[in-house]
Structure 1
């Protein structure tokens, strides 16, 4: 697309992004593991934000989509750095973060790093600490032994197998958010589908119970899967952002 731009992060990574101007607080979409900024939710919210006259930013983490680097070279901390750089260098004022799956984890890390820039938070099937709890916690002894040699392949319903590296698991342990206090001092809406086979509802309940904040709600959408891209799911995301904006006002 013609309006594709590239940001160079302080670490030297090239981050591809699309941005539209508008009123603040702006909306920043944070995608999932091995996803990119051309997904249904990212594009839908861009059109919605433009119709609302609201600023909007979507981007690809390094090793994802059109950004530089190899996916297998990256880890959670790297992608959080990419998101921090995008918000710090490309946006002004407070932002509402919309984090999908891994993007939900990234948004919680940003809440620690730059809470003064965050006006509100909406997560969609948030997957905090998944490298430890979902991946490492479910690996067989054979998979752990294979990972010790560098990497292991996991099947995926979304295409080619996920190549999980030793660094992804080990570096992820430095980014865990469910082991220590997690203050979220702004309106927060956690969205979760009951038919999600990638992130169980128990994760959403654990996150709600663990986080600390004055205005947090968990909304379950019956029969919605992990993609959360059906029309009723997209409307629920819009409603959640609207609600956060109302609470800010």
Structure 2
């Protein structure tokens, strides 16, 4: 059943929580996705089978949470995740971050390492506002963004994404690949080689940049950004089981 949390920032966040043993697992979804996605539901079913606590949520402007997507930025969505984790879980959690959720999980690890027991990322997209969108914009698009406040970018997932000036500018205050990034817990990165949203180079850059004693990157030949085939879902569960075993 979906419940709602009113955060200290005044945002209304929708979530689903499954009781169980700890450390619990928290699923953090991607840019403009929601907690009803294939991976989130599959992991919830896995957690129920394992008797493990599980939490999934919609950031503000996503899914059935309050707010408008176009008003949000990385910092807002990080705060949504942080506030929900702090309010609804106890002790360190295992974070599973998909795409933008990977970036948010890295921010959580940097800002609140005491609440992170382990990490699994799926096509993690750290710093994508800068290294993805801004880097790909030509001079004309950058000028339009700065002068008009937003640009529409085509998306293969449906309606064009509205990229705002605030999303880019605020994202610059949340970058994780420019300064030291310590991940002192079991960490598993998963990445498909046929991902057209996040490159294999990005995954390798993250692996090279982060510091940690128990870190692995698994490349899956032919897997796309959704990473939601039965084989990919099984790999996510395997990575989670590995992290739990290492704990």
Give the corresponding residue for 2:186: 187
Give the corresponding residue for 1:228: 227
| Aligned mates of 1:12, 1:226 — CA distance in 2 | 32
| Aligned mates of 1:94, 1:75 — CA distance in 2 | 25
How far has the Cα of 1:14 moved from its partner?
A: 0.1
Give the corresponding residue for 2:243: 244
1:63 aligns with 2:57: no
Give the corresponding residue for 1:160: 159
How far has the Cα of 1:145 moved from its partner?
A: 1.1
**TM-score (structure 1 length as normaliser):** 0.98
Give the corresponding residue for 2:17: 19
Per-residue CA deviations over 1:132-170 (Å, capped at 9, x if unaligned) read 001000101111011011100000000000000000000
Give the corresponding residue for 2:86: 88
| Aligned mates of 1:188, 1:99 — CA distance in 2 | 11
Give the corresponding residue for 2:140: 142
| Aligned mates of 1:113, 1:134 — CA distance in 2 | 23
Give the corresponding residue for 1:197: 196
Give the corresponding residue for 1:49: 47
| Aligned mates of 1:38, 1:121 — CA distance in 2 | 21
| Aligned mates of 2:105, 2:93 — CA distance in 1 | 11
| Aligned mates of 2:159, 2:139 — CA distance in 1 | 23
How far has the Cα of 1:207 moved from its partner?
A: 0.1
Per-residue CA deviations over 1:36-95 (Å, capped at 9, x if unaligned) read 000000000000100000000000000000000000000000000000001000001211
Q: Give the paired residue count.
A: 246
Which 4+ runs in 1 deviate beyond 6 A? Answer: none
Give the corresponding residue for 1:40: 38
- Unmatched segments (≥5 aa) in structure 1: none
| Aligned mates of 1:20, 1:125 — CA distance in 2 | 25
The secondary structure found in structure 2 opposite 1:183 is: coil
| Aligned mates of 1:162, 1:155 — CA distance in 2 | 6
Give the corresponding residue for 1:178: 177
| Aligned mates of 2:111, 2:66 — CA distance in 1 | 24
Give the corresponding residue for 1:115: 113
The secondary structure found in structure 2 opposite 1:15 is: strand
- Unmatched segments (≥5 aa) in structure 2: none
| Aligned mates of 1:43, 1:222 — CA distance in 2 | 24
How far has the Cα of 1:113 moved from its partner?
A: 1.2
